[in-house]
Chain A
Amino acid sequence: MNPHLLLIFHYAFPIVLAVLGFWGLLYFKRIDLKVWAWVFLQCSVGFYFLQLSMENPAPGSNGPNPLALDLGSGVFIVALLTGGLLLGLAGFLKQQNGSWDEDEINRRLKP
Chain B
Amino acid sequence: MSQQGPVLLLLLPWAGALLMLGVALLSRRLCSLLYFLVLSLDFWVLFRSFPVLIAKGFWNYELGGWAPPWGIELVETPFNALLTGFILVVAILAWFYIRKLRLPGPTGARRERWLLSLFLFLTGTALGFLLLRDAFSIYLLLEALMIFWAGTILLLNPKGALDAFRILLWGSAASTVYLVGVLFLSASAGTVQLDDLLAQLFTSKTPGVALAAGVFMVFAWVLPSIFPAPYFFSRLLNHTPSFVTGFLVSVGARSAGYLLFVLCFFTLNVPNLVLPLWTTLLLYLLVLLLLSLFVLASRQRDFQHAMAYLAVAQGGYLLAGFVLGNKSGLAGSLLELLSQTLAVSGLFFVSESLRQGVGPQPLSRLIGMARHRFWTWTALMVFLASAVGVPPTGGFFAKFYLFQGALEKHDWALLAILSLAALFNLFYLGKFTFYLCEHRSAVPDLPPPSFSSLFPIMVLAAGVLLLGVFHQEILHTYVEPSLPRAFQNLPVPNVPFLGKAVE
Contacts and interface: CB of A to CB of B under 8 A. Distances in A.
Q: Which secondary structure dominates chain B's binding surface?
A: helix
B168 A106 contact: no
Interface stretch (B48-56, B158-166, B480-488): B158-166
Contacts of A85: 147, 150, 168
Contact of B165 (A42, A71, A86): A86
A67 B192 contact: yes
A19 interface: no
B437 interface: no
Contact of A31 (B165, B182, B235): B165
B173 interface: yes
Contacts of B179: 45, 75
A93 B162 contact: yes
Given A45-B183, A67-B70, A71-B136, A106 B172 contact: no
Q: Which secondary structure dominates chain A's binding surface?
A: helix
B162 A106 contact: yes
Contact of B169 (A86, A96, A111): A86
A56 B183 CA distance: 13
A4 interface: no
A84 to B, nearest CB: 11
Interface in B224-246: 235, 238
A82 B143 contact: yes
A38 B143 contact: no
A105 B70 contact: no
A45 B186 CA distance: 13
Given A82-B168, A85-B147, 18 more contacts: A25-B169, A31-B165, A45-B176, A49-B183, A49-B186, A56-B187, A67-B70, A68-B186, A71-B182, A78-B140, A78-B143, A82-B172, A86-B165, A89-B154, A89-B161, A89-B164, A110-B235, A111-B235
Interface of B: 69-70, 136, 140, 143, 146-147, 150, 154, 159, 161-162, 164-165, 168-169, 172-173, 176, 179-180, 182-183, 186-187, 190-192, 235, 238
Interface of A: 25, 31, 34-35, 38, 41-42, 45, 48-49, 52, 56, 67-68, 71, 74-75, 78, 82, 85-86, 89-90, 92-93, 96, 102, 105-106, 109-111
